[in-house]
């Protein structure tokens, strides 16, 4: 089953051709990072405009590289939720136009299901599993006992992890996206420097990162008022260690409670080197296997959307998207 996957939910315009959720023929990613970094974060209107400008070139490149034509696709797939609404609408409109013109059925895909299924592209993983979803917009612990079935056990009550990374990076004077930069500074700093209070949350598997972020901001303000120098490496390292500790502790706890042997990391923050290492080590200690996608498949890409669409068709059946499909900014898994 050959699927063309379209992703435009945030600041990456990406289109891929993937067969059976596994074989990637092309996965073109046009990132707008260089444009948004001047503003310290993604500017929604600018993102939409750049998707519009780039999407047909990305489509052409994805088809050319795959050596297929549009008519060779069994399905088209598009991220319809969640994300920046103007950005989503670009992908949805193009997908609907292509579907109408070619008669190829269109499968709407939830962005987070795409992130989760990026794990299954390069490796075979048995279920049940616990998935830690960590991106710029999401933080969730998800239980999967069957293919394409998702039960959220808890999530963030305020900032998403990636969002907290990007905001802390900004106050440290680092450019967007801050996650990779803090990850790098971690190795140059003293992670025990700041004793950041771990937040209290209502549910066992809920998260809160706004307090962790505010702790760092308050410390920086205090130092500024006292006209004291700060070592940003130490602050970045302390922040990253606190965040990763929280994520690992809760994920392992959920895996134990559900008695599962497989843990998956998904979303942009799954690219974090410390999270990958610490989760692997904690998994080994508890007799659990930890999986994550290769770095290119962690952040937003069309291949994960085409992969998830394959499972959508396989397990949910073919329900062709109506040509009145709309984008949805907020939608739970």
Q: Which residues bind ligand KG4 (CB under 6 A)?
A: 10, 135-137, 162, 165-166, 177-180, 183, 267-269, 271-272, 299-300
For the bound state, the minimum distance from the C-beta of residue 264 to Zn ion, rounded and expressed in Å, comes to 15
For the bound state, the minimum distance from the C-beta of residue 111 to ligand KG4, rounded and expressed in Å, comes to 6
- DSSP code, position 316: I
| Smaller CB separation from ligand KG4, 12 or 73 | 12
For the bound state, the minimum distance from the C-beta of residue 302 to Zn ion, rounded and expressed in Å, comes to 12
Name which of residues 276 to 305 contact Zn ion (CB under 5 A): 300
155 is in the binding site of which of ligand KG4, Zn ion, none (Cβ under 5 to 8 A by kind)? none
Residue 196: count other Cβ atoms within 10 Å of its Cβ.
20
Judge residue 172's burial from the number of C-beta atoms within 10 Å of its C-beta, 0-12 exposed, 13-18 middle, 19 or more buried. buried
Binds Zn ion by CB under 5 A, chosen from 30, 79, 118, 135: 135
154 is in the binding site of which of ligand KG4, Zn ion, none (Cβ under 5 to 8 A by kind)? none
Is residue 6 within 8 Å of 305, Cβ to Cβ? yes
Instruction: Name the segment binding Zn ion (CB under 5 A); options: 27-35, 88-96, 129-137, 313-321.
Output: 129-137
**300 is an annotated ligand-binding site residue:** yes
Q: Give DSSP secondary structure letters for 160-206.
A: -HHHHHHHHHHHTTPPSSHHHHHHHHGGGS-TTSS-PPPPP-SSTT-
Is residue 16 within 8 Å of 62, Cβ to Cβ? yes
| Smaller CB separation from ligand KG4, 47 or 263 | 47
For the bound state, the minimum distance from the C-beta of residue 270 to ligand KG4, rounded and expressed in Å, comes to 8
For the bound state, the minimum distance from the C-beta of residue 271 to ligand KG4, rounded and expressed in Å, comes to 4
Runs of H (alpha helix) within the chain:
33-36, 44-66, 85-102, 111-117, 119-122, 161-171, 178-185, 210-225, 232-257, 273-285, 295-298, 302-311
Best CA proximity match to 148, nearest among 118, 116, 108, 122: 116
| Smaller CB separation from Zn ion, 172 or 264 | 264
**Residues contributing to the site for Zn ion (CB under 5 A):** 135, 300
């Amino acid at each position: 089953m050959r699927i063309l996957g379209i992703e435009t939910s945030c600041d990456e315009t990406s289109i891929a051709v993937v067969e059976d959720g596994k074989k990637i023929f092309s996965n073109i990613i046009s990132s707008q990072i260089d444009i948004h970094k001047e503003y310290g974060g993604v500017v929604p209107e600018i993102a939409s405009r750049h998707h519009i400008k780039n999407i047909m070139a990305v489509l052409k490149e994805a088809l050319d590289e795959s050596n297929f034509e549009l008519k060779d696709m069994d399905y088209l797939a598009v991220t319809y939720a969640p994300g920046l609404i103007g950005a989503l609408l670009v992908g949805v409109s193009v997908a609907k136009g292509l579907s109408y013109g070619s008669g190829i059925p269109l499968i709407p895909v939830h962005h987070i299901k795409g992130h989760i299924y990026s794990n299954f592209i390069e490796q075979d993983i048995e279920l049940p599993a616990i998935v830690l979803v960590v991106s710029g917009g999401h933080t969730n612990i998800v239980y999967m006992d069957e293919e394409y079935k998702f039960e959220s056990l808890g999530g963030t009550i305020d900032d998403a992890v990636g969002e907290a990374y990007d905001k802390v990076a900004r106050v440290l004077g680092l450019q967007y996206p801050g996650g990779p930069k803090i990850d790098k500074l971690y190795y140059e700093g003293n992670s025990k420097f700041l004793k950041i209070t771990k937040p209290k949350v209502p549910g066992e598997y809920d998260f809160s990162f706004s307090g962790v972020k505010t702790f760092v901001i308050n410390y920086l303000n205090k130092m500024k008022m006292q006209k004291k120098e700060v070592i940003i490496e130490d602050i970045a390292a302390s922040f990253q260690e606190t965040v990763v500790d929280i994520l690992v502790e809760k994920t392992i706890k959920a895996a134990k409670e559900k008695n599962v042997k497989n843990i998956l990391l998904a979303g942009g923050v799954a690219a974090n080197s410390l999270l990958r290492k610490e989760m692997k080590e904690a998994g080994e200690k508890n007799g659990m296997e930890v999986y994550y996608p290769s770095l290119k498949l962690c952040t937003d890409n069309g291949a994960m959307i085409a992969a998830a669409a394959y499972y959508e068709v396989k397990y949910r059946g073919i329900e062709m998207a109506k040509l009145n499909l709309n984008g949805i900014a907020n939608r739970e898994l």
